[in-house]
Amino acid sequence: MPRHDGRAPDQLRPVTIQRGFVRNSPGSALYRAGGTTVLVTAHLSDKVPPFLEGKGVGWLTAEYAMLPGSTPTRKSRGPDGRATEIQRLIGRSLRAVIDTRALGPWTVHVDADVIEADGGTRTAAITAAFVAVADALRNRLGPDARGVLRDSIAAVSVGIAGGTPVLDLDYVEDSAADVDLNAVRLGRGGFVEVQGTGEGGTFSRDQLDQMLDLADAGITALNTLQRASLGDDWPLE
């Protein structure tokens, strides 16, 4: 079954990454994937959570929110269970590539705000956050930032829509998908997290393998875009 926007099953939406979008932030990225737009900023503070005080290691924490105008119907501000789950995912994902001992007693604060939502906001936030964090570390720590990032990380959604495994679902596909799955993977390979749900039924092992293959290829493409965005400031060997 053809996708409603004409994309092939294994095709990402058009993606752009604009670094330094927020002048007052040492690291920021405006990330667009089709109709989804997410702004991520990263700051460093010289304090760590109480459970890490005196241990010489750092931390990374994340917050996520959808702005009121990000959806057709106004999104209310305030506590949101879905947002809490997503920001925990963002934090876990970024901590997978942070060497907290090399970071030292600093906390990296990641803030992801969805400006426009058209599916895949959590995966967009993770992919953009790596770029913002890389810039924040370089701008705040200078040479001391070397070695803090052990790898890159990116994420993408996959699913089964109309009986076909597809990559990077937009809202139209996501809202009607039989299966919805989000995958987070390191740049050098190795999944950090896979979240999958049979929304309209079950899925087979073969279908799961097909979705993971799509996610693997999609994340490789996103990693290439991250590299191109950071250019000579790419923090890894």
For 158-173, what is each residue's pLDDT tens digit? Answer: 999 989 999 999 999 9
- Strand residues in the chain grouped as ranges (E): 15-19, 27-33, 36-45, 59-66, 107-116, 153-161, 164-167, 179-186, 191-198
Residue 200 pLDDT: 76
Residue 1 pLDDT: 63
Average pLDDT, the chain: 96
Phi and psi at residue 22, to the nearest 5°: -105, 115
DSSP state of 14: P
The predicted model scores a pTM of 0.97
Residue 139 pLDDT: 97
Say which residue the tokens 């799955």 belong to. 181
Q: Is the pLDDT of residue 36 over 90?
A: yes
Residue 196 pLDDT: 94
Strand partners, 166: 159
Summarize the confidence of residues 36-49 as an average pLDDT.
97
Summarize the confidence of residues 116-144 as an average pLDDT.
97
Q: Report the CATH fold assignment for 15-232.
A: Ribosomal Protein S5; domain 2 (3.30.230)
